[in-house]
Structure 1
Amino acid sequence: MSATGLVIAVDGTSGSGKSSTCRGVAERLGLRYLDTGAQYRAMTWWMLQHGVDVDDAAAVAAASARPDIVSGTDPRDPTIVVDGRDVSVQIRSDEVNRAVSPVSAVPAVRERLVALQRDVVGDGGIVVEGRDIGSVVCPDAHVKVFLTADPSARAERRAAEEGGSDIASTQESLLHRDRIDSGRAVAPLVQSDGAVEIDSTHRSLHDVIDLVVGLADQSPSTASER
């Protein structure tokens, strides 16, 4: 297998730096990039736009097959398109932030999006980020990473991304989502078997990218290429 056939699975908590890390790793290695969280956000955005009660699991399940969701995989400019419309900005709204966990917990939603994610992964050559990649979506990934950081550091990063949001409320929001995602019955947030935990609290983005690239270099699938 060539290095371009690699599958790198990166799971972890909100605000731990998954997106920046994965995009950096993909650029460094010349791989594609998939943000599975954006797909769940896109599904959530569609539900809100179509008046579906996101707290009604049956209603969400019944509508989950309707939206057409397409993920761009260029790490320099990832896109998420719903029914032909790029919603990369809209899916980051506060309204979507509040609704994404209950939508993501619906088994029918996860079944549909996991199938979509596996189609995108295909024969590999991709860095995939999410919360159940190493455990459910790509359990045979060549490299598995579980990225974490202290809640305060995560809150500071997320608040900065959101233009100076209140750090205390941001931290509580992140912890609330972690509790929901870790406790859900289907595909909870867990560190998968074989995943290497990386704590990004006191590491620069460059250092974290270096660590993940180092793991990829050590993978038997790339070692044979050297």
Structure 2
Amino acid sequence: MNDQERRERIARIGITIAIDGPAGSGKSTVSKLLAERLGIGYLDTGAMYRSLTWYALESGIDLADEAAVAGAADEMPLRMDSHPRNPHYWVGDAEVTSDIRDPRIALAIRHVSTNLRVRAWMAREQRARMMAAREQGSGMVAEGRDITTVVCPDADVRILLLADQEARLRRRTLELYGDASEEHMAAVREQVEGRDRADSAVSEFMEPAPGVAVVDSTGLDVGGVVEAVLALVDEDLLARG
């Protein structure tokens, strides 16, 4: 099936695609390219957590105060577009697209991402966005943690994207710093391993739930991973007509 055929089918029946995976597995890059190929929206759930982390820090909230952080989620005036190539995020009038990628956010986000009240809030918000896009005769790709199991267990396509640890570290280092020097790799190793340890306490993201397809990106280039996911999308679109 070519991209035009996929888009025509999606316009008739809509689609939701849920992609889970650990940090550095390539899920953000793959999801953006997939959304662009299919002509649908892209939901960066990690950016939602980063935005809340930024908002809490800027508001002087102690991230260890789970109730206060959950309250900040209810109050946060978050706006985000779903453009896959060039998404932007605002908290109130402040555009935070670049700010939420700062290493200080990466180091602090584990305190927010493990807050169970925050996770429940995020799940509601994320699912609502995905379902709204589908109902409008389009669709959405959402990626993060627990997307295939908690946020949207009834997504049309559910995928767990994996990669070995060194490949994940290198990808995340290049994303954050633009190079893979030993110094930067060491800094990112602390971030990635810390995030994995923290999230593993509240989320199972290295083993697929029933009905979730596994795509291992180790040794594959981005194009190869996208094609593997598109094969699963084609199966779904053909099955649903």
Gaps in structure 2 of 5+ consecutive residues: 1-7
Normalising by structure 1, report the TM-score: 0.91
When residues 70 and 212 of structure 1 are mapped into structure 2, their CA distance, relative to the original with a 3 A threshold, is same
What residue number does 1:167 align with? 185
Which of 198, 205, 208 matches 1:189? 205
What residue number does 1:98 align with? 107
Give the CA deviation at 1:188. 4.6
Q: Which consecutive segments of 4 or more residues in structure 1 shift more than 6 A? A: none
Q: Secondary structure at the match of 2:25?
A: coil
Q: Is the 8 A contact 2:101 2:176 kept in 1?
A: no
Question: CA–CA distance in 2 between the matches of 1:45 and 1:120?
Answer: 21
What residue number does 1:153 align with? 167
Question: CA–CA distance in 1 between the matches of 2:107 and 2:204?
Answer: 18
Give the CA deviation at 1:120. 1.0
Q: Is the 8 A contact 1:11 1:147 kept in 2?
A: yes
Q: Is the 8 A contact 1:64 1:108 kept in 2?
A: no
What residue number does 1:27 align with? 36
CA RMSD of aligned residues (A): 1.8
Give the CA deviation at 1:2. 4.0
Question: CA–CA distance in 2 between the matches of 1:172 and 1:48?
Answer: 20
Corresponding residue pairs, total: 222
Normalising by structure 2, report the TM-score: 0.86
Higher helix content, 1 or 2: 2
Q: Is the 8 A contact 1:135 1:193 kept in 2?
A: no
Instruction: Answer yes or no: is 1:122 the counterpart of 2:131.
Output: yes
Give the CA deviation at 1:224. 4.7
Question: CA–CA distance in 2 between the matches of 1:78 and 1:62?
Answer: 26
Q: Is the 8 A contact 2:162 2:216 kept in 1?
A: yes
% identical aligned pairs: 39
Question: CA–CA distance in 1 between the matches of 2:123 and 2:91?
Answer: 17
Give the CA deviation at 1:137. 0.7
When residues 88 and 109 of structure 1 are mapped into structure 2, their CA distance, relative to the original with a 3 A threshold, is same
Give the CA deviation at 1:166. 2.1
Q: Aligned runs of 1:1-226 on 2, under 5 Å?
A: 2-4=9-11, 5-123=14-132, 124=134, 125-163=139-177, 164=179, 166-184=184-202, 187-189=203-205, 191-219=208-236, 221-225=237-241
Question: CA–CA distance in 2 between the matches of 1:192 and 1:88?
Answer: 32
Give the CA deviation at 1:117. 1.0
